[in-house]
Amino acid sequence: MKDMNTTAPSLEEMNLIKKFLDDTTLFLGPDPEIMQNHDLMPRTQDEDAAIAKVSDNHIVAKIRDRLQSGCDEGFEMVEQMGAAPGAKWGDVITGVYSASGDLAIASAGGVLIFSALVHHPIKFIIKNWINEPTVGVKDGDGFIHNDSRYGNVHNTDQSMILPIFHDSKLLCWVASTVHEGENGAIEPGGMPSMAESPSDEGLKMSPFKVVENYQIKRDVLTFLQNSVREPKLQYEDMKVKLFACLRIKQRIEETLKSDGPDALVSTLRLTMEDVRAEVKRRISEWPDMTVRSYIIQDSTLRENCVVKINCKLTKTGDRLIFDFRGSSPEFTNRATNTIVAGLKGMLSQVFLCYVWPDLPRGQAAFAPIEVITDPHSIVDCSYDAPNSQSLMSIFTGFTAGQHAVAKFLYSCPEKFTKVHAPTFNMINTFIWGGVSQHGETLGNLCADLNGMGAGATSDRDGEHALAPIFATMADIGEQELNEEEVPFLQLVSKKMTRDAIAPGKYRGGQGYSMMVSTKDSEQWGFMTTAEGAKIPPLQGLFGGYACGTYPLCKVKDVDVYDVLMNEPEKFRHSIEEIMNEQPFEDAKYSTHHMGMGFEISKRGELFMISQGAGAGYGDLLERDPVNVVKDIEEGLMSAEVAARLYKVVFDPKTLAIDFEATEQARDEERKARIARSTPYAEFIKGWNQPKPPAHLPYFGCWGDDIDTLYMGAPDITRRADEPRPNYMMHPKDVRIAELEARLTAAGVAGDEKQ
Amino acid sequence: MKIPMTEYLRINLETEKWECRVCDHEIAPAEGNYKEGLLVHNRDPREIHPPVIDPDKYKFTFSPDPEWVRILEFCCPSCGTQVETEYAIPGHPPLWDMQVDVAALKAQWAARGPAMLPDAGPSVVAGRAHTH
């Protein structure tokens, strides 16, 4: 008999243990082996054989272009036919994946991160369903998926995944993903900030079969429709995604007919390998250096607090390593956490959208780049943490990466884009829901989230309200068309918000104001899900400034439609005028952070927000005075602010510039800077503190000590490698406690029984 | 050879120093933190991002909260050019944002030669980029 204490199990025993575990697996949750790996799968024997037969660069390029066109065609179909508002503005993507599940080619337009994460659910299907007798993977099957923990940004995005067979052999996969919006979560619209656990986040579709023989299974469809607020949208978009996949399949089959399966398999594999090799070559051209940055989230969307996204980017030779250790611990009952794959997907967008947009869009461009995180942190959350507002963490993670990367690129002789200050990164828009003027139950959002201001570049101002950081070619939709379907108007739309600026030698592109008001429904409301009302969510670049901050403004106890009908002269067309002049008597005017939970609105109340500006680049005293005056003329900046900040001297009536006086004013300001500033060594003696300030609820590391994470107060910490729950009180309970304390202090609560 | 590292900073490979590109001021050792050779000003963020709505009436005004965040402005002690900004939590040590491996930088540029220096600063130069 073996000594159980000293002898390791034999191979036979190990196999027996493995079989036992396989046979008795009770739940196929997200697989860490799949979810932690973003690199390409190893080359298969089939791929080796195909490459041995076909590897001519011209053939590969021809087929790649053909598949790219097929993906673009699928993308166009979804965009034109999709019912979800997201589909109509380009929050969509299609892609072709290798037999092993790697994304080889994605459509040129759309949200790359969607497809960059679909390799995870495909690999789950390959690992678990192909040989599972109760499921299987056959020609004509289609799989649906949305649960981010199995590979997705957030559960509002749904994918349709089809295997492509040739002569009964699985050759590749195609998939289409759309930001669908509604998913039956605790709040309408699919991105609940009120979610305190994954169970509040609505539909949680692990990858499962929903299509057989190219037909959507009606029983499963009905269950899905019954689980969301928009049953018709659910059906329509499942069909649209299925038919987009079938169109790509058709293009693949045409390729198979003309060039054969080896050419296809070889093209997919070589495209990925070539991109991966090229990325390593490009990285090797960067200087060997470590760049540090951090971005602050100033809320959890439920309460204001200071949440650090810590980023150290190190390049050595052809290795590039993102180190996000020291970032905030995950929040046990707040939705702003992300799975690490989401962070990686967003970082891949830094490169494919802003650094190397010439590379074929696929998984390979980020494959060789390494990412280090603390498990159970806000950028690498656990299975049990809600993540429906993961955008808050992946977008601030993106910005930390974008900010750090710019400092590597400046000295590179070979550039593929211009050096770029961070683009605005928050989805300042209205999510809406309720019953429409047509009696439809709806839940979705305004496409204005796609109007993020661009960061300035090394030789140009950032463009206004250009594009979201997750989709450089998305649209912001036609408001008039939207208003046919929803019971509210944007009374002011696309008007630039004056003085909400990011100054610099080149200024950031600015954002525009939105004022919405419900009109034809008594059952309609809004929510907003953005950070950055107390601390800007960006950093400036090379002496430029970040954006300012952006609040939510409300005007209640007013019906602006009555005002417009009876006293139209009282209406104002900017947030500045309405809030400062308070033109509607007896109305209540208030400001809030941008994390408004779903709130029912009454007819004629105003909800007002602004898109944000991208960051500025360079010393603002170097800005061409002509461009400063142009900004005044275009209503981007008031004359007073322009003169004070940029030190441009001009005639207040004609705006004629006095160049000589401007030069003199700027020289004086440079001298004044020197006079008011302190040498670094002296400065940090007074500035540096050993711990976060007591007045701030601070989360994350402080300084360089990434092993200690603060959890809301200077005396509450945990080690980075020892996860602990991190609960936040309900903001209403916090408020009640404050008020009760005041009652107690005033001596009027003493007789209440406890 | 002098390598432009940012809009306003370069590394002189011979002297191994960070230098100001505007006034040629020698700032700090290249192996170290260039900020140590600069001046710093703790800026109230409301001065740069002015309130759009009345701070006497409202809690949130489009201006960052000065109790929550400050702007550290770093300028050249010689010419006053603003080299970098850092939006910092009060009391948070400023970042050593660019920690350069100077030996590797020297080797990289010895192999490239001065002809490859970005001649127009950061611009994308025709013929330098990868093309198909």
Let me know if residue A748 belongs to a domain. yes
- Residue A106 carries which DSSP code? E
Query: What pLDDT sits at residue A4?
Result: 52
Assess whether A444 and A412 both reside in one domain: no
Taking only the tens place, the pLDDT of each residue in A15-29 is 999 888 888 889 999
| Under 8 Å between Cβ of A227 and A202 | yes
Tell me the pairing of strands A606-610 and A678-679: unpaired
Query: What pLDDT sits at residue A5?
Result: 59
Six-digit token string for A550: 């952006």
Given an 8 Å threshold on Cβ–Cβ distance, is B100 in contact with A287? yes
| Under 8 Å between Cβ of A658 and A626 | no
Query: Phi-psi region for residue A214, left (φ > 0), alpha (ψ -120 to 50) or beta?
Result: left
Let me know if residue A685 belongs to a domain. no
Looking at A277, A296, A318, the residue that finishes a domain is A277
Assess whether A720 and A704 both reside in one domain: yes
CB pairs under 8 A between A and B: 266
Residues 632-651 of chain A whose Cβ lies under 8 A from any Cβ of chain B: 641, 645
Is pLDDT above 90 for A712?
yes
Tell me the pairing of strands A208-212 and A142-145: antiparallel
- What ranges make up the beta strands (E) of A423-487? 431-435, 441-445
Instruction: Please state, rounded to an integer, the average pLDDT across all residues of chain A.
Output: 95
- As a whole number of angstroms, the distance between CA A183 and CA A202 comes to 6
H helical segments located in B12-115 = 45-48, 102-112
Assess whether A567 and A547 both reside in one domain: yes
Nearest-Cα distance to chain B for A22, in Å, is: 49
A687 CB neighbours in chain B (<8 A) are 40, 42, 91, 93-94
Instruction: Please state, rounded to an integer, the average pLDDT across all residues of chain B.
Output: 91
| Under 8 Å between Cβ of A145 and A97 | no
The mean pLDDT of A637-661, rounded to a whole number, is 97
Let me know if residue A23 belongs to a domain. no
Q: What is the pTM of this model?
A: 0.94
Taking only the tens place, the pLDDT of each residue in A266-309 is 999 999 999 999 999 999 999 999 999 999 999 999 999 999 99
Query: What pLDDT sits at residue B127?
Result: 53
- Residue-range definition of the domain harbouring residue A735: 285-417+692-754
Assess whether A262 and A305 both reside in one domain: no
Looking at A236, A260, A277, the residue that finishes a domain is A277
Share of chain A above pLDDT 70, in %: 99
Give the chain B residue nearest A577 (alpha carbons): B53
Let me know if residue A10 belongs to a domain. no
Six-digit token string for B81: 């050019």
- As a whole number of angstroms, the distance between CA A267 and CA A269 comes to 6
Assess whether A382 and A470 both reside in one domain: no
Let me know if residue A644 belongs to a domain. no
Q: For the packed helices A261-284 and A57-81, what is the interaxial angle rounded to 10 degrees?
A: 90
Given an 8 Å threshold on Cβ–Cβ distance, is A580 in contact with B69? no
- As a whole number of angstroms, the distance between CA A693 and CA A713 comes to 8
Query: Phi-psi region for residue A147, left (φ > 0), alpha (ψ -120 to 50) or beta?
Result: beta
Assess whether A359 and A450 both reside in one domain: no
- As a whole number of angstroms, the distance between CA A497 and CA A514 comes to 9
Is pLDDT above 60 for B121?
no
Is pLDDT above 70 for B129?
no
Query: What pLDDT sits at residue B128?
Result: 47
Let me know if residue A707 belongs to a domain. yes
- What ranges make up the beta strands (E) of A129-263? 142-145, 157-166, 169-179, 208-212, 215-216
The mean pLDDT of B18-47, rounded to a whole number, is 97
The mean pLDDT of A110-120, rounded to a whole number, is 86
| Under 8 Å between Cβ of B130 and A416 | yes
Taking only the tens place, the pLDDT of each residue in A498-548 is 999 999 999 999 999 999 999 999 999 999 999 999 999 999 999 999 999
Query: What pLDDT sits at residue A676?
Result: 98
Assess whether A608 and A715 both reside in one domain: no
Number of folded domains in chain A? 3
Instruction: From A319, A320, A321, A328, select the one nearest A294 (Cα to Cα).
Output: A328
Please tell me if residue A664 touches chain B, with a CB cutoff of 8 Å.
no
| Under 8 Å between Cβ of A608 and A578 | yes
In three-state form (DSSP H/G/I as H, E/B as E, the rest C), the secondary structure along A338-375 is CCHHHHHHHHHHHHHHHHCCCCCCCHHHCCCCEEECCC
Residues 286-345 of chain A whose Cβ lies under 8 A from any Cβ of chain B: 287-294, 296, 298, 306, 308, 316
What band does A85 get if pLDDT is binned at 50, 70 and 90? confident
Assess whether A350 and A443 both reside in one domain: no
Query: What pLDDT sits at residue A753?
Result: 75
Please tell me if residue A86 touches chain B, with a CB cutoff of 8 Å.
no
Instruction: From A396, A377, A224, select the one nearest A296 (Cα to Cα).
Output: A396
A677 CB neighbours in chain B (<8 A) are 39-41, 73, 75, 77
B98 CB neighbours in chain A (<8 A) are 289-291, 407
Assess whether A273 and A290 both reside in one domain: no
Assess whether A303 and A263 both reside in one domain: no
The mean pLDDT of B8-36, rounded to a whole number, is 97
- As a whole number of angstroms, the distance between CA B63 and CA B50 comes to 6
Across the interface, of B52, B64, B101, the residue whose CB is closest to A576 is B52
- Residue A149 carries which DSSP code? G
- The amino acid sitting at A705 is D
